[in-house]
Amino acid sequence: MTNHILGLDSFGDITVDTDGTPLHAAQVLRNVVEEATLADKLGVDAITLGEHHRDDFAISSPEIVLAAIAGRTERILLGTGVTVLSSDDPVRVYERFATLDGVSDGRAEIVLGRGSFTESFPLFGYHLHDYDELFSEKLELFAKLREEGAVTWSGKHRSSLTDQHVYPKTEHPGGLPAWIGVGGSPQSVVRSVKIGIPMMLAIIGGDPARFLPFVELYRRAQGELGVEPMPLGVHSPGHVAETDTQARDELWQHFRANRIRIGRERGWPDPTRAEFEHEVDEGSLYVGSPETVAQKMARTIRTLGADRFDLKYANGTMPHEMLMSSIELYGGAVLPRVRELLAD
């Protein structure tokens, strides 16, 4: 790809007002639509919304929110980050996103994954001991649906299909644009190539360069399997403010609260400010002034040979006004600078 896709990502984190009071999820959803509308006006290439089913995130049905965004935007790509395919039905997922693609004039895409949380499995009647098998089987069916012909398929976790067409069809040659979210296992990397759906690396900690072995495996597998070159995407969290100090100070308390809650669920120690600062300086937090964030993004894109970079701009309880300011700087200053750096 010659033109890099530079996008934004949100889980619809439950945010607070200026007094620190948590907003209702309904208001958060309306705010996400407003944030995406601003991103579209600023020339951001894509907005992706993650699916969760818990009280600290407002978005459980990202395609509904994306449809609302579609009605208020003109050019921005509308995707998910991720759709939890393991606990959904591939046919219904394809129908919903093909519908979104139609009403948005061909702007829909989907990032498929297993999700970083597991609450959807018991909620929809699935067992965690089938975690890997569910995703593999449903991904296989979804890949067949993307061909948009008659599908004959059988598996263990849903009814079989025989010469079945699924509607509506999209206007895309090759079916609905899709990615597979990968956290960094070799098996997931190779599966992406075998199934023919490009990889979106979720890099949420540590030096991005440590993912180079997975990128090299991705490229090598394409060569060995005789697959045409596939694009590579990267997703990481960050925050933009006028200065480096302001960005760090604004993000820290919200980042800390978010990591404490999730960390205690998973047995992690509470984060320290020193660890946060190290992650900003050396790791995968893209936090700072527009120039700082642009330089770090461009460096990661070059290091990994990525074709796409999505910044998770909403991190914890950050107020809507702060998020809007971050988006304004990202679209108005960071992206032009990244493109300039990559053109050198």
Q: How far is CA 6 from CA 3, 34, 45, 255, 338, in A?
A: 9, 19, 5, 23, 9
DSSP 227: P
Helix (H) or strand (E) holding 215: helix 212-224
Q: What is the pLDDT of residues 266-321, one digit of tens each?
A: 899 999 999 999 999 999 999 999 999 999 999 999 999 999 999 999 999 999 99
Confidence band for 174, pLDDT divided at 50, 70 and 90: confident
Q: If we measure between CA atoms, which residue out of 332, 341, 224, 291 comes closest to residue 8?
A: 332
pLDDT band at 245 (very low <50, low <70, confident <90, very high): very high
pLDDT for 2 = 53
d(CA 138, CA 48): 21
Output the six-digit token pair for 5: 């896709």
Q: What is the mean pLDDT of residues 192-220?
A: 97
Which one is predicted more confidently, 293 or 259? 293
Q: How large is the average pLDDT for residues 244-251?
A: 98
Domain that holds residue 86: 5-343
Nearest Cα to 54, choosing from 91, 17, 25? Answer: 25
Nearest to 40 by CA among 89, 7, 3, 84: 7
Number of domains present in the structure of the chain: 1
**Positive or negative, the Cα torsion across 117, 93, 71, 45?**
positive
Cα three-residue angle 59-262-325, rounded to 5 degrees:
55
- The tens digit of pLDDT for each residue in 77-129 reads 999 999 999 999 999 999 999 999 999 999 999 999 998 799 999 999 999 99
Cα-Cα end-to-end distance for the chain: 16
pLDDT value of position 115: 80
Residue with tokens 């049905």: 61
280 token code pair = 């900003």
Backbone angles phi, psi at 313, to 5 degrees: -85, -20
Q: How far apart are CA 201 and CA 215, in angstroms?
A: 9
pLDDT of residue 1: 42
pLDDT digits (tens, 9 = 90+) for 60-90: 999 999 999 999 999 999 999 999 999 999 9
Q: Say whether pLDDT at 207 is over 90.
A: yes
CATH code (residue 61): 3.20.20.30
Helices 131-146 and 90-103, axial angle in degrees (round to 10): 40
* DSSP-H helix ranges across 273-343: 273-282, 290-304, 320-329, 335-343
pLDDT (0 to 100) of residue 18 = 83
Neighbours of 319 (CB within 10 A): 18
